[in-house]
A and B are shown apart, each in its own frame.
Chain A
Amino acid sequence: PALPSGWSAEKDFKAVGTLSGATQRNLEAVGPFFLAHARRKRHGRTFSEDERI
């Protein structure tokens, strides 16, 4: 982390760019973490929603 000097922004947050893109790839449908991912995706849940269940 660096020190700011004369830096200010609304609510201390400033968006300055966007991600430059993604590549479409296939996940391997294997392992507990994938199955959790599949469950989230099928039910349209987010990480925190999933944790609460």
Chain B
Amino acid sequence: MSSETNGATERFAIGISFGNSSSSIARLNPEGKAEVIANEEGDRQIPTVLSYIEGEEYHGAQAKNQLIRNSQNTVAYFRDYLGKDFKSIDATPCHNSAHPQQHDDTVAFSIRDTTSETPSTVTVSEIATRHLRRLKQSASDYLGKEVNAAVITVPTDFNDAQREALIASANAAGLEVLQLIHEPVAAALAYDARPEAVVTDKLTVVADLGGTRSDATVIACRGGMYTILATAHDYELGGATLDKIVIDHFAKEFIKKHKTDPRENARGLAKLKLEGEATKRALSLGTNATLSIESLADGIDYGSTINRTRYELLSGKVFAQFTALIEQVVKKAGLDVLDIDEVIFAGGTSHTPKIAQLARNIFSEKTTILAPSTFTAAINPSELAPRGAAIQASLIQEFDKEDIEQSIHPMVTATPHLQNAIGVEVTSGDAVDFQALLHVETALPARRTAQFSAPKEGGDVLIRVCEGVREIKVTKPEPKPKEEKAEADEDDSDFSDSDEEEEEIREIVWKTEKPIAELAVKGVKAGSKVELMIHVDADLGLQITAREVGGQSAVRGAVEAPKA
């Protein structure tokens, strides 16, 4: 091995999720499973906080504890300030820690990070570098090998300046950034990379509920490839909003007893924030939680309990805001809740059982809600992004830098996607139904194969390949819901059961829009199946092959691309 930089030296990459509130590091273990690494304090969710006392640097949970006694020299919630100018940032989350300041065209903090009495101005980029350096160190210590590269997750709305600033900060921390990937896509990958997962065509909503912000994203997953259809963000909604409810509840109780408001005193508020957050977390696991703070205000110790029912009652409005964000993004994508196949809950706030339960009520029964309280095999929502990043890191760490750059180049990612679904007409009795083979928003070129059962008596079979359009049929309650039986199909069924809660029954029906081609498979044996393969080129040309399963001869043909 030579000592040349990048490329020549061996790469050792991890996945990093870098959040405003907390960050995580993950790697693929020798068994090929993604695993989140705990730092030296045993934390897997490492608070994105740095604090300085007498020139000594504290990081993570230790730094977070300094918010009480040493708030002026503690920097928190800085991820979203990277690559931004001072005017465009929202400084609210930093109210109880070091305040962001304008410094040239970037954001900086004035903190005493050395033994000298005079504070120094440290840019947000430098803070991010120090934070990433500590994360890198924790991973290296754990793995016993110097980590020198990473895949880092970013929100979907990160602009180019923010991306560049993050890459520069990481490079300064001795990390080669192999790729920046989007947080919701990392979450989807973390689920799809499980050994038991089957690659299907599906529409996924990722609800990333964080500490100071929440993001919802609709992703079309087609043949294991992801396309983002819509995103929605709420920069004020997050775990901190729920913390405040807990804090206010206890503060009111305290006032009733002792006639002083602990929130008016900075240190009292800091203590309440820290403990209130811990209490809220306990309420995600148990139905009861306690809070006890020494010398909260006026030297009075305080202890109390809260149960989950009470907490859910107080938080009802905020919970509704989370579900509204999810509904909003589905609408923004031009979709109906019936179209959604799965909802992935990611981010720390997704541990809250009630939020997933409320989401359960929005979607139909066939929609999978992937959250700890609704799905037993759910992955810890806090670990989804780092796991996805670790998986991606392991996939590309062997590549040359040039290879990675070429692969993620827009030339490759900009791809035509199908406007309508392509499928075949299926007759069951008198009714003609449409079965989708390639779904809407499938990236091209694509290929799908499916088997259809031939008529019982056998004989000649006609296959009509058509374009289909999904419609929502609304039925008034009186007629009993018609049972739609899905034929054997490799893709998941497109028929959804009716919504029981609603008065009217809403269901997805397919309408054949436009015939594309007809094929005849002759002399099919009774009870056998016909296999159909459709290949769509990037220029919308088609190649279609049909044959009887086990049969020798196949019918094939091509459909030309439409003339522009």
Contact = CB atoms under 8 A, between A and B. Distances in A.
B288 interface: no
A34 to B, nearest CB: 5
Interface in A16-32: 16-32
Given A20-B467, A28-B181, A2 B461 contact: yes
B516 interface: yes
A3 interface: yes
Nearest to A8: B520
B556 A19 contact: no
Given A2-B425, A7-B518, A47-B445, A15 B559 contact: yes
A24 B539 CA distance: 12
B513 to A, nearest CB: 8
Interface of B: 179, 181-182, 185-186, 189, 192-193, 199, 219, 223-229, 388, 391-392, 395-396, 406-408, 410, 412-420, 422, 424-427, 432, 441, 443-445, 447, 452, 454-455, 459-464, 467, 513-522, 530, 535-536, 540, 542, 544, 555-562
Query: Chain B: interface secondary structure?
Result: strand
Q: How large is the interface on A (under 10, 10 to 19, 20 to 34, 35 or more residues)?
A: 35 or more
Given A16-B517, A24-B414, A27-B443, A1 B420 contact: no
B416 A18 contact: no
Given A16-B517, A20-B514, A31-B392, A38 B407 contact: yes
A22 to B, nearest CB: 4
A35 to B, nearest CB: 6
Contacts of A7: 462, 518, 520
Given A18-B560, A21-B540, 15 more contacts: A11-B555, A12-B522, A15-B557, A17-B516, A22-B418, A22-B540, A24-B417, A26-B410, A27-B413, A28-B225, A29-B179, A29-B413, A30-B182, A30-B388, A47-B447
B424 A34 contact: no
Q: Kindly list the 5 A-B residue pairs having the minimum CB-CB distance in the complex, ordered from nearest.
A: A33-B224, A13-B557, A22-B416, A18-B562, A29-B408
B559 A18 contact: yes
Contacts of A9: 518, 520
A39 B561 CA distance: 24
Greatest chain A CB density within 10 A among B388, B426, B562 is at B562
29 contacts: A1-B426, A1-B452, A3-B459, A4-B462, A12-B519, A12-B520, A12-B521, A14-B519, A17-B467, A18-B516, A19-B422, A19-B561, A21-B540, A22-B416, A22-B419, A23-B417, A25-B443, A26-B228, A27-B226, A27-B413, A28-B413, A29-B179, A29-B412, A30-B185, A30-B186, A31-B189, A33-B199, A37-B443, A38-B408
Contact of A19 (B228, B518, B562): B562
A52 interface: no
B535 A47 contact: yes
Contacts of B461: 1-4
A12 B227 contact: no
Nearest to A21: B419
Contacts of B460: 3-4
A13 B181 CA distance: 44
A36 B306 CA distance: 52
A9 to B, nearest CB: 7
B517 A13 contact: yes
Given A27-B443, A28-B228, A38-B407, A18 B561 contact: yes
B562 A41 contact: no
A19 B513 CA distance: 10
A47 B226 CA distance: 18
Greatest chain B CB density within 10 A among A2, A3, A20, A39 is at A2
Nearest to B427: A2
A31 B391 CA distance: 8
A30 B181 contact: yes
Contact of A31 (B224, B408, B415, B447): B224
A52 to B, nearest CB: 15
A41 B227 CA distance: 17
A28 B199 contact: no
Nearest to B518: A14
Given A1-B461, A20-B514, A22-B444, A15 B560 contact: yes
A53 to B, nearest CB: 16
Given A12-B522, A17-B515, A1 B407 contact: no
B488 to A, nearest CB: 12
Contacts of A35: 395-396, 407
Contacts of B406: 38, 42
A13 B519 contact: yes
A16 B467 CA distance: 12
Greatest chain B CB density within 10 A among A16, A23, A27, A37 is at A27
